[in-house]
Structure 1
Amino acid sequence: MTPAVFSHGDLRLYLLSLLAEAPQHGYGIIQALTDRTGGTYTPSAGTIYPRLAKLEEEGLVTKTVDGRTTIYAITDAGRAELAGREGDLAGIESGLADSVRLIASEVRQSVQEAMKSLRADLAAAANDERTAAKTRPSTARPMGDERGTSREQLHRADASVNAFRARVRTDLRTHVARGGVLAESVVTELENALDAAARAVTRALGSPDR
């Protein structure tokens, strides 16, 4: 969701709905908007304060200055306008909920695709190893050669795991830094997929699952 989710007049109405819950200072309003939109929209002070000033001019809110803090509160006229536009407010809240679900779905899909890629890489590597084992000469290789090959493959496996970790970590951190939602279900799904991948590696190595 982008700030465009609040079309003309929508943000004004939503500010009234927030103040109808409780009086609030400007920063608290900005934080409330961030929370209500799942972190997908954080308005600037330059967006919020002029609208609050306009609402004050219209007699829909009042402000009280306490030291360096200005508290805004809705008036009876503001509550009356809010009551008369309940349908519009319901539509705004429905749109916000849909946007949060969409962001969560996009993150979940990204994690699923990353895990699918990892499982495919592991399966391909295991298949390549089985194929190579069938085509090797039947004569035993020197122990030193086998250990050397194993060390090379271990380095390759380490590189693959580290690359996957960096990719997922970057995607998640970037998403959250941009104000996106990281749902608990997405993290749980990631944990389950990683566990499944670990079990697949264990089976490919010929060891029983732990």
Structure 2
Amino acid sequence: MPPVFSHGDLRLYLLALLDESPRHGYDLMQALTDRTGGTYSPSAGTIYPRLAKLEEDGLVTKTVDGRKTVYEITDAGREHLEARRGDLDGIQAGLADTVRLIADEVRGSVRAAMKSLQADLAAARDDAGRSASTRPPEPESPRASSRAQVQRADAAVDGFRSDLRADLRTHVARGGSLEESVVDDLVAALDAARSEVQRALRG
């Protein structure tokens, strides 16, 4: 994957974040992680030298607030930022594209999982139909078989729910974007799968 920030872009983006409000170093690192959809998590060794250079150039100042050092943009920093507004717009557009690509990947994964679940349910229904037509009836066998299939369905649903929740929570915890349309697709696919099962149960 190519670097999220090319040479000099990170310095400019730090100024833009400080133009929004004064921040301490950890807050800047967290903001960068959030706004890149988790694709970029800078270290203190990356951020603080650039902040020191911005301070040396008179573009930011720092004050100590308890145990934290807070950085604030100067008037010279705002002038520098305004002079490079076109470059900053390009950086922000690139970050938006990155987050959009991540959201598309999540949406595609959810759709693929839904299709796989629907295919598994259809296959299970077909298997049950074939088994019913080829096996001779036995006393109490249908009830025992149904109980086994209920347990199998419970395990499949629980496993799917657990895996999907883990995928979504991990993605969001890393700062990824989860669009409403992704959840809408998930709800629609689950409703469709439930309807398919209900039709199969009605025979």
TM-score category of the 2 structures, normalised to the smaller one? 0.7 to 0.9
Aligned to 1:102: 101
Instruction: Provide the rounded CA distance (Å) in 1 between the counterparts of 2:106 and 2:176.
Output: 9
Deviates more, 1:182-191 or 1:101-110: 182-191
Paired residue secondary structure (2:101): helix
Instruction: Provide the rounded CA distance (Å) in 2 between the counterparts of 1:3 and 1:50.
Output: 22
Aligned to 2:15: 16
- C-alpha distance after superposition, 1:102-136 (max 9, x if no partner): 10110111110000000011111212223333445
| Match status 1:170 vs 2:162 | no
Q: Normalising by structure 2, what TM-score?
A: 0.88
| Match status 1:73 vs 2:72 | yes
Is the CA contact 1:39–1:181 (under 8 Å) kept in the aligned structure 2?
A: no
Deviates more, 1:119-128 or 1:152-161: 152-161
Identity of aligned residues (%): 68
Q: 1:142 to 1:135 in 2, by over 3 A?
A: closer
CA RMSD of aligned residues (A): 2.2
The Cα shift of 1:75 comes to: 1.8
Instruction: Provide the rounded CA distance (Å) in 2 between the counterparts of 1:56 and 1:3.
Output: 28
- Aligned pairs for 1:122-141 within 5 A: 122-136=121-135, 141=137
Paired residue secondary structure (1:71): strand
| Match status 1:87 vs 2:86 | yes
Deviates more, 1:22-31 or 1:10-19: 22-31
Is the CA contact 1:41–1:179 (under 8 Å) kept in the aligned structure 2?
A: no
The Cα shift of 1:205 comes to: 0.3
Paired residue secondary structure (1:41): coil
Which amino acid in the other structure matches residue 97 of structure 1?
A
- Aligned pairs for 1:1-210 within 5 A: 4-136=3-135, 141-206=137-202
Q: 1:148 to 1:116 in 2, by over 3 A?
A: same
Paired residue secondary structure (1:4): coil
Instruction: Provide the rounded CA distance (Å) in 2 between the counterparts of 1:39 and 1:136.
Output: 54
Which amino acid in the other structure matches residue 170 of structure 1?
A
The Cα shift of 1:61 comes to: 1.0
The Cα shift of 1:191 comes to: 2.1
Which amino acid in the other structure matches residue 68 of structure 1?
R
Is the CA contact 1:24–1:71 (under 8 Å) kept in the aligned structure 2?
A: yes
* Runs (5+) with no aligned partner, structure 2: none
Paired residue secondary structure (1:105): helix
The Cα shift of 1:16 comes to: 0.9
Q: Normalising by structure 1, what TM-score?
A: 0.85
Paired residue secondary structure (1:5): coil
Instruction: Provide the rounded CA distance (Å) in 2 between the counterparts of 1:61 and 1:46.
Output: 18
Instruction: Provide the rounded CA distance (Å) in 2 between the counterparts of 1:39 and 1:192.
Output: 27
The Cα shift of 1:142 comes to: 4.3
Paired residue secondary structure (2:3): helix
Counting matched residue pairs gives 203
